[in-house]
Amino acid sequence: MHVTLLLADLCSASSATTALELLTAVNLLSEQPVFDVTTASLDGQPVRTLRGLTLDADAALDDIEHTDLVLIPGFLFTLREALPGFARYGDWLRRQHAQGAVLASMCTATFLLAETGLLSGARATTHWAFADLFRKRYPDIRMDERHTLCEDGGLITSGGASAGMDLLLHLTRRYASLELAQKCSRYLLIDNARSEQSVYVMWSMPKSHGDADILRVQNWLEEHYSEPLAIEELAPRFGFGVRNFMRRFKEATGYTPLAYLQTLRLEQAKHLLESTRMSLDSITFKVGYEDSNSFRRLFQQRVGLLPASYRKKFQPRAA
C-alpha cells in the first residue's frame, strides 16, 4: 500500500524519522514489503524543522494523485509557530480523503487535520498539554485527550510524542497483521499495550484568565484543599451569589469548582505516591478525603491507574 509521509514546515524531525524507520522495519521484518513510502512537502522542497534542521522530500504533494494513507508528523515544540500555515495543506488532504485515503496524525498534527474541517463532529485526541487550546479553537470536534489513539471516519489521531509508536503499530496491525505488529514491538522494545495518556498529565492551574475575584478563590483553595469543604459555602465566603460564582468559576478556569478541587487533591495525591511511602489511607486523609476505597475509585477514573499501580510506575526505584 502507498503511504505519503507529509513533511510540513516546522514539523518534528524525530516524529518524521521515527515514522520512516518503523515503517522500514515493518518491511524488513515481513516476508514482503507492506508499505511503499513517499515523503512529500508542499512544493517538493526540503522543509525546516526545529533548530534549523532540514528534511528532504521525494515529491511535491500535487505530484501524488492518489495515496492509501497519509501520515502527518507532529509539532510538539513548534505548534504555535507552525499553526498559521496549516491551511495550505487542506485542499490536498480533503481530496485524498474523498478518494478513500486514511489520514493519520501524530501528536499535535491533529491541529493540521482539524484545519481541513474533516474532523468536524468527529472524536479526536492530541497531546494532553494542548487539549484546552484545541477545544477553544475547534469547539465542534470531540476532543478526548485521555486516549492515545482515536479513529473516526478514516481519520486517526494520536496523543503525545511517544504515542506515535502506538499509532505506527496500530497501522501495522491494520494493514499487515497482529503478528507482524507484535514482532516489531519485540524487536524495537516498544510497549504495545498503552491506550491512555492520562497517567502522564501534569496539571497546571489556569490562572491567566483575568478574573481577579476567581483568582482569589483559586489561591485560597490551593492553601486549603485538604480541609473539609462544601462548594456551596465558597460563594458567600468570597462575596458571590451561588449561581454567579458557579458560572464565573467555570468561565475563568474551564472547571466547575468541584472538579477543580478534586484535581488539586488528585495532583497532591500523585505527588505523595511518587515521593513518599505513605499508605493510601494516610494519603487519602491528607488530601482531604475520608474513605480510601472511594478515593481509589476516583483516582482510577480520573488518572487511569489505581494508586498502587501509579506508585509502581512513577516512584523512583531507590525510594
What is the spatial distance between Cα 192 and Cα 186, in angstroms, rounded to a whole number? 9
What is the spatial distance between Cα 293 and Cα 82, in angstroms, rounded to a whole number? 46
Pick the CATH number of 2-200 from 1.10.10.350, 3.40.50.300, 3.30.870.10, 3.40.50.880: 3.40.50.880
Per DSSP, the three-state class of 59 is strand
Residue 178: per-residue pLDDT: 74
When pLDDT is cut at 50, 70 and 90, the band that residue 319 belongs to is very low
Q: What tens digit of pLDDT does each residue of 204-242 get?
A: 667 778 899 999 999 899 889 999 888 888 999 999 999
Q: Domain 212-314 classified CATH 1.25.40.10? A: no
Residue 193: per-residue pLDDT: 47
Residue 64 grid coordinates: 501524488
Map out the domains of the chain as residue ranges. 2-200, 212-314
Asked if residue 128 lies in contact with residue 161, where contact means CB atoms within 8 angstroms, the answer is: no
Between the CA of residue 202 and those of 45, 132, 198, 229, what are the distances in Å? 38, 13, 9, 24
Q: What is the mean pLDDT of residues 155-164?
A: 81
Say if residue 57's pLDDT is above 90: yes
Amino acid present at 260: Y
The whole model's pTM is what?
Answer: 0.65
Q: How many CA atoms lie within 13 A of 204 on its CB side?
A: 8
Calculate the CA dihedral of residues 206, 208, 209, 212 and round it to 10 degrees: 100
With residues binned 3-state (H G I as helix, E B as strand, rest as coil), the percentages for the chain, rounded to 5, are: 50, 10, 35
Among 135, 161, 137, 163, residue whose Cα is nearest residue 149? 163
Residue 317: per-residue pLDDT: 54
Among 12, 110, 112, 104, residue whose Cα is nearest residue 55? 12
DSSP bridge pairs for 147: 196
Strands 149-152 vs 155-158: parallel, antiparallel or unpaired: antiparallel
Among 153, 147, 141, 91, residue whose Cα is nearest residue 111? 141
In the DSSP assignment, the letter for residue 30 is S
Q: What tens digit of pLDDT does each residue of 173-216 get?
A: 888 887 888 888 888 877 654 545 555 555 666 777 889 999 99
